[in-house]
Amino acid sequence: MVFNNSLYFCSMEKRGGKRGGLKGSGKIGRRSTSGVGRGRADEKKSLSNPNSKRTSRRESAEEEEKKPFKKFEKKPFAKKRFEGKSKFGSDEVTESRSRTIKAKYSEDKTGEDRVRRPRLKGKSSAGRPAPIAQQTEVHETRLNKYIASSGICSRREADKLISEGMISINGEVVTQLGTKVQPGDEVRYAGELLSFERYVYILLNKPKDFITTVDDPQGRRTVMELVKNHIPERIYPVGRLDKNTTGLLLLTNDGDLAKKLTHPSHGVRKIYHVVTDKPVSKTEMKQLAEEGIELEDGLAKVDSIAFVGDGINKRELGVELHSGKNRIVRRMFEGLGYKVTKLDRVSFAGLTKKSILRGKFRHLNEKEIGMLKMVK
Question: What CATH number is given to the structural domain containing 329?
Answer: 3.30.2350.10
Looking at residues 181-195, what average pLDDT do you find? 85
Q: What is the pLDDT of residue 91?
A: 47
Task: Write the CATH number for 157.
Answer: 3.10.290.10
Query: Is 60 exceeded by the pLDDT of residue 82?
Result: no
Arithmetic mean of pLDDT over the chain: 75
Report whether 342 contacts 313 (CB < 8 A). no
Phi, psi values for residue 345, rounded to 5°: -90, 115
Residue 23 resides in a domain: no
Whole-angstrom distance, CA of residue 261 vs CA of residue 253: 13
Mean pLDDT of 9-23: 45
In the structure, what pLDDT confidence band is assigned to residue 185 with cuts at 50, 70 and 90?
confident
Q: How far apart are CA 190 and CA 161, in angstroms?
A: 10
C-alpha distances (whole Å) from 95 to each of 15, 82, 86, 87, 99 are: 88, 9, 8, 11, 13
Contact 349, 198 (CB under 8 A): no
Do 174 and 291 lie in one domain? The reply is no
Asked if residue 371 has pLDDT above 60, the reply is yes
**Higher pLDDT residue, 77 or 230?**
230
326-350: per-residue pLDDT in tens?
Answer: 889 999 999 999 999 999 999 999 9
- The answer to whether residue 212 scores a pLDDT higher than 70 is yes
Side chain identity at 272, as an amino acid letter? Y
User: Of all helices (H) and strands (E), which one includes residue 284?
Assistant: helix 282-286
**What pLDDT score does 13 carry?**
45
> Is position 237 within any domain?
yes
2 inside domain: no
- The 8-class DSSP code of residue 114 comes to G
So what's the pLDDT on residue 239?
A: 87
Identify whether 88 is part of a domain.
no
My answer on whether 319 and 341 are in the same domain is: yes
The answer to whether residues 184 and 203 belong to one domain is: no
Q: What is the pLDDT of residue 215?
A: 87
- At 197, the pLDDT band (50, 70, 90 cuts) reads confident
Q: Do residues 307 and 177 share a domain?
A: no
pLDDT given at position 228? 87
186, 205: one domain: no
In the prediction, which pLDDT does 95 show? 45
Residue 309 banded pLDDT, cuts 50, 70, 90: confident
**Range with lowest mean pLDDT among 43-57, 226-240, 339-353:** 43-57
Specify whether 231 is located in the same domain as 298.
no
- Report the pLDDT value the prediction gives residue 154, as an integer from 0 to 100: 80
pLDDT tens column, 93-148 = 444 444 444 444 444 445 555 555 555 455 444 444 544 434 334 467 888 888 88
Instruction: Give the amino acid at 215.
Output: D
225 and 279 in a single domain? The answer is: no
Overall domain count for the chain: 3
How does residue 71 score in pLDDT terms, banded at 50, 70 and 90? low
Task: Report yes or no: 37 and 30 within 8 Å, Cβ to Cβ.
Answer: yes
- Do 342 and 277 lie in one domain? The reply is yes
Task: Provide the domain limits for residue 366.
Answer: 198-258+358-376
- CB of 187 closer than 8 Å to CB of 234: no
286 and 344 share a domain? Answer: yes
In a domain, 146, yes or no: yes
324 within some domain: yes
Least confident interval from 83-92, 283-292, 345-354:
83-92
Answer yes or no: do 207 and 248 share one domain: yes
Catalytic residues: 242
| Alpha-carbon distance values, 127 to 2, 133, 285 (Å) | 113, 19, 86
Same domain, yes or no, for 188 and 203? no
Cα separation, 104 vs 333, whole angstroms: 90
* Residue 310: inside a domain: yes
pTM above 0.75, yes or no: no
Which one of 149, 165, 194 terminates a domain?
Answer: 194
DSSP assignment, residue 308?
S
pLDDT of residue 132: 44
362 with 326, same domain: the answer is no
| pLDDT at residue 130 in the model | 45
% of the chain residues with pLDDT over 70: 64
pLDDT band at 58 (very low <50, low <70, confident <90, very high): low
Per-residue pLDDT tens digits for 233-282? 888 899 889 999 999 999 998 888 888 898 877 889 999 999 999 999 99
Burial 159-170 (b: 16+ CB within 10 A, else e): bebbeeebbebe
